[in-house]
Amino acid sequence: MRRLISKRNGMIGFFLVLLVLIAGIFAPYIAPYDPYDIDMDVALSPPTFAHPLGTDFFGRDVLSRLLVGARISLQVSVLARLIAVALGALLGLCAGYFGGRVDHIVMRLADVTLAYPGLLLLIAVMAAVGPSLTSLIIALGAVGWAGVARLVRAQVLSLKEREFVLAIRSIGGSPLNIMFRHLLPNCSSQLIVIFSMGLGMAVMAESSMSFLGLGAQPPLPSWGSMISSGLDYLRVAPWLSLAPGVAITLEVLGFNLLGDALRDVLDPKLSGSGGRL
Amino acid sequence: MSDHSREHERIQVVDPPHSSSDGTLLRVEGLKKYFSIRKGFFSRIVGHVKAVDGVSFEIRRGETLGLVGESGCGKTTLARVILRLIDATEGEVSFEEIPVFSLNNRELRKLRRRMQIIFQDPFGSLNPRLTVGSMISEAIKIHKLAKGGGIRDRVVELLDRVGIPAEHMNRYPHEFSGGQRQRIGIARALAVSPDLVIADEPVSALDVSIQAQIINLLKDLQNDLGLTYLFIAHDLGVVEYISDRVAVMYLGKIVEITDSGRLYSGAMHPYSEALLSAIPSLDPAKKSERIILQGDVPSPAQVPPGCPFHTRCPHAKPICQQEEPVLKEISRGHQVSCWLYET
């Protein structure tokens, strides 16, 4: 941890993420107004002391909506990455350990998943199952597993030839015991790194999908849908799109810097292979 | 090689006969392990690395068989094939008359308790994410050899036996030195109370002073627990000290096998002679003729025809290039495969 913030980039990333975390966790307590409270008297008000980031078309406070939006953004990205990492780790573990046909099937599936542009695949999935945050989380997880699976498989392939694994085999350990007690824990630093490196991409994906109307549905204050609804008023009220845009930028930047720093600390070998959708 | 693939009776692992008639614990017959070399787009098999090529020997209960040979001659592969950590290409291994290669998974797991391995690299053989205690207790739990508090008592006893303070139970491998790690590896192998321990170069990665400690530990354990060792090494000095019999391996084959004392006083195979002449003498007055072998070990992917050693043998005869000698008993308990001793 100390090594993590001893680097300048790591520290910036850490504080940006901390900022978003605080906003997301304490949003209901620190938000000055109810994010859903419509007050047509102050509609499209520019930033003032009463409304530091102005108000939208319905007179809802942008700052309050932004703070609550942080919670949605975090929820979706963290849950989606958890699903992706769990799924990818499990499949990669099986592919690497069993090899042969299992390996072939899993890795060709991963190739197929990786061959499509992530967003395109997401749009297709969301169009098929209908837009909602839950299905967005699941779809993001289902698209993101392939990169994790590849990484874990490679790691398992090298680990399973190590002598401590041979030792457990010669003692008579079952495959499940070897996989989950000996192989997986030795992938943990790689898993942490790829989890955090993918968070930024997940945030971007959530915002993009919400922007397109395929993610969070109104009146939920997702940053992506806030940008999209602000577009109509871009000339008269630029803060409507600008504020969530800046927020997304900072959050993604924070996650990426933190992810890079984590990678440098935990796993210097793993560079260049960032998280992919 | 039809004589090697003879029929074996299937004997249940449950309650095996505790000792067979002649006291043989492990019998290896015509064991072969070829790794295929694949090339090109369709992964055609273009050749074989003959890591182990027709090895046969027996180990009696309670004895130590030393196995020596240069790096790359197939010693480690032989050890792993015997334990079925990798599959054999041909041949048979029987442990107390139980054919190891025809066991199913469940039977194999039961047998694994009785054959253990100690590895060469004390840094690679311990899982860096597990404490010493949990590593050793895992073996006990897998075979349900103790329950509850009994597990902890057993771990303490094992650590004590190999000379690791029991209070270090909750430490991780990186907190120990190479010699201590090797002791932990030994404790893990002993956790299941095995009959046979295969020690795969257990001391070659250690300092000389620590080597002696580990060798003595292994000897003590053998005396106390009645263990049988297959002791693999490339250092003849170490092997002489611990072994009752010694097998010399060259390019996947055993070229000479005899009692330890007889090998060191009168090795017969030219390769054994050369190996022995390389042991430094403690007596400066004793000028020993050192036999320097010419050339390198041929690649195990292209083993020379005839006797595999003829390319480097100082006594090579024309027949050595054409026909391969077989392992023959020259005198009681002394087998050599060399044309020099054919009559």
Which of B127, B135, B204 should we substitute to test contact with A (largest number of A Cβ atoms within 10 Å)? B127
B217-243 as b/e, with b when 16 or more CB fall inside 10 Å? bbeebbeeeebbbbbbbbebebbbbbb
Q: What is the distance between the alpha carbons of residues B226 and A113, in angstroms, rounded to a whole number?
A: 57
A169 to chain B: which residues are within 8 Å by CB? 85
pTM, 2 dp:
0.80
Closest-CA residue in chain A for B76? Answer: A163
Query: Which residues 108-167 of A are in CB contact (within 8 Å) with B?
Result: 162-164, 166-167
Residue A239 domain-assigned?
Answer: yes
> Would you say residue A154 has pLDDT above 70?
yes
Closest-CA residue in chain B for A168? Answer: B139
Helix (H, G, I), strand (E, B) or coil at B277: helix
In angstroms, what CA-CA distances link A236 with A61, A219, B263?
16, 22, 99
pLDDT band for A268, please (50, 70, 90 cuts).
low
B113 to chain A: which residues are within 8 Å by CB? 171-172
* Alpha helix (H) residue ranges in chain B: 75-82, 105-112, 132-142, 149-161, 178-190, 208-225, 236-242, 260-266, 270-277, 318-322
* Alpha helix (H) residue ranges in B177-308: 178-190, 208-225, 236-242, 260-266, 270-277
Closest-CA residue in chain B for A173? Answer: B142
What pLDDT is attached to residue A173? Answer: 85
Determine contact: A276 vs chain B, CB below 8 A.
no
Whether A167 and B185 lie within 8 Å, measured CB to CB: yes
Which residue's structure tokens are 């050899």? B145
pLDDT band for A274, please (50, 70, 90 cuts).
very low
Average pLDDT, chain A: 87
The secondary structure of chain A, three-state, reads CHHHHHCHHHHHHHHHHHHHHHHHHHHHHHCCCCCCCCCHHHCCCCCCCCCCCCECCCCCEHHHHHHHHHHHHHHHHHHHHHHHHHHHHHHHHHHHHHCHHHHHHHHHHHHHHHHCCHHHHHHHHHHHHCCCHHHHHHHHHHHHHHHHHHHHHHHHHHHCCCHHHHHHHHHCCCHHHHHHHHHHHHHHHHHHHHHHHHHHHHHHHHHHHHHCCCCCCCCCCCHHHHHHHHHHHCCCCCHHHHHHHHHHHHHHHHHHHHHHHHHHHHCCCCCCCCCCC
What pLDDT is attached to residue A90? Answer: 96
DSSP label at residue B298: P
Helix (H, G, I), strand (E, B) or coil at B320: helix
Please state the domain count of chain A.
1
A138-161 as b/e, with b when 16 or more CB fall inside 10 Å? bbbbbbbbbbbbbbbbbbbeebbe
The answer to whether B190 touches B162, Cβ cutoff 8 Å, is yes
A181 to chain B: which residues are within 8 Å by CB? 130, 138
Closest-CA residue in chain A for B119? Answer: A163
The answer to whether B254 touches B65, Cβ cutoff 8 Å, is no
Whether A166 and B185 lie within 8 Å, measured CB to CB: no
The answer to whether B92 touches B29, Cβ cutoff 8 Å, is yes
Closest-CA residue in chain A for B107? Answer: A172
Is B81 buried (19+), middle (13-18) or exposed (0-12) by CB count in 10 A? Answer: buried
- The CA distance from A197 to the nearest CA of chain B, in Å, is 23
Closest-CA residue in chain B for A184? Answer: B129
What pLDDT is attached to residue B267? Answer: 83
- Which residue from B83, B129, B130 is facing A170, i.e. has the nearest CB? B83
Instruction: Tally Cβ neighbours within 10 Å of residue B140.
Output: 22
- Which residue from A171, A174, A186 is facing B192, i.e. has the nearest CB? A171
A171 to chain B: which residues are within 8 Å by CB? 112-113, 116, 138-139, 142-143, 188, 191-192
Domain, as residue range, for A184: 2-32+54-266
The answer to whether A207 touches A224, Cβ cutoff 8 Å, is yes
What pLDDT is attached to residue A269? Answer: 56
Residue A107 domain-assigned?
Answer: yes
Residue A273 domain-assigned?
Answer: no
Which tokens sit at A163? 């002598």
Strand pairing report for B24-39 and B44-60: antiparallel
What pLDDT is attached to residue B216? Answer: 92
CA neighbor of A212 nearest in space, from A119, A74, A134:
A119
Which of B82, B83, B116, B129 should we substitute to test contact with A (largest number of A Cβ atoms within 10 Å)? B129
Give Cβ neighbours of residue B73 (< 8 Å, ≥ 6 apart): B249, B250, B251, B252, B297, B300
Residue A45 domain-assigned?
Answer: no
- Which residue from B115, B125, B192 is facing A164, i.e. has the nearest CB? B125
Q: What is the distance between the alpha carbons of residues B147 and B18, in angstroms, rounded to a whole number?
A: 25
Instruction: Tally Cβ neighbours within 10 Å of residue A232.
Output: 12
Which tokens sit at B130? 């597990």
State the number of CA atoms in the 13 A half-sphere of A99 facing the CB: 6
Q: What is the distance between the alpha carbons of residues A119 and B175, in angstroms, rounded to a whole number?
A: 47
Handedness of CA A151, A153, A157, A163 (dihedral sign): positive
Q: What is the distance between the alpha carbons of residues B59 and B23, in angstroms, rounded to a whole number?
A: 9
Whether A182 and B127 lie within 8 Å, measured CB to CB: yes
Whether B143 and A172 lie within 8 Å, measured CB to CB: yes
A160 to chain B: which residues are within 8 Å by CB? none
- Which residue from B116, B121, B129 is facing A170, i.e. has the nearest CB? B116
Which tokens sit at B271? 């390769």
Task: Give the full edge-to-edge strand order of the sheet including B24-39.
Answer: B44-60, B24-39, B90-95, B98-99
Which tokens sit at B132? 């010493």
- Which residue from B109, B125, B130 is facing A172, i.e. has the nearest CB? B109
Quote the distance between the C-alpha of residue B51 and its chain's center: 14
Which residue's structure tokens are 């139980």? B98
What pLDDT is attached to residue A77? Answer: 93
B83 to chain A: which residues are within 8 Å by CB? 170
In this prediction, residues A64-79 reach a mean pLDDT of: 91
- The CA distance from B247 to the nearest CA of chain A, in Å, is 24
CATH assignment at residue A6? 1.10.3720.10
What pLDDT is attached to residue A59? Answer: 81
- The CA distance from A174 to the nearest CA of chain B, in Å, is 8
Low-confidence ranges of chain B (pLDDT < 70): 1-22, 284, 286-289, 343
Whether B129 and A188 lie within 8 Å, measured CB to CB: yes
| CA quadruple A55, A59, A64, A68: dihedral, nearest 10 | -120
Whether A181 and B138 lie within 8 Å, measured CB to CB: yes
**Interface residues from chain B to A (CB-CB < 8 Å):** 80, 83, 85, 108-110, 112-113, 115-117, 119-121, 124-130, 138-139, 142-143, 185, 188-189, 191-192
Give me the interface pTM, i.e. the ipTM.
0.79
Query: CB pairs below 8 Å between A and B: how many?
Result: 66
Closest-CA residue in chain A for B197? Answer: A170
pLDDT band for A5, please (50, 70, 90 cuts).
low
> Would you say residue A1 has pLDDT above 70?
no
Determine contact: A171 vs chain B, CB below 8 A.
yes
What pLDDT is attached to residue B238? Answer: 85
Q: What is the distance between the alpha carbons of residues A125 and A143, in angstroms, rounded to a whole number?
A: 9
What pLDDT is attached to residue B73? Answer: 86
Whether A170 and B112 lie within 8 Å, measured CB to CB: yes
- The CA distance from A166 to the nearest CA of chain B, in Å, is 7
What pLDDT is attached to residue B79? Answer: 92
Whether B117 and A188 lie within 8 Å, measured CB to CB: no
What pLDDT is attached to residue B158? Answer: 94
Which tokens sit at A109? 């599936």
Lowest-confidence range among A39-43, A53-57, B209-213? A39-43
What pLDDT is attached to residue B273? Answer: 87
Residue A18 domain-assigned?
Answer: yes
Whether A166 and B117 lie within 8 Å, measured CB to CB: yes
Whether A186 and B129 lie within 8 Å, measured CB to CB: yes
B190-214 as b/e, with b when 16 or more CB fall inside 10 Å? bbbbbbbbbbbbbbebbeeebbebb
Closest-CA residue in chain A for B84? Answer: A170
What pLDDT is attached to residue A126? Answer: 86
- The CA distance from A183 to the nearest CA of chain B, in Å, is 9
CA B246-B250-B254 angle, to 5 degrees, is 50
Residue A96 domain-assigned?
Answer: yes
- Which residue from A164, A166, A172 is facing B142, i.e. has the nearest CB? A172
Is B119 buried (19+), middle (13-18) or exposed (0-12) by CB count in 10 A? Answer: buried
pLDDT tens digits for range A76-123:
999 999 999 999 999 999 999 998 899 999 999 999 988 888 888 888
What pLDDT is attached to residue B257? Answer: 92
What pLDDT is attached to residue B9? Answer: 40
Residue A39 domain-assigned?
Answer: no
Residue A44 domain-assigned?
Answer: no
The answer to whether A244 touches A223, Cβ cutoff 8 Å, is yes
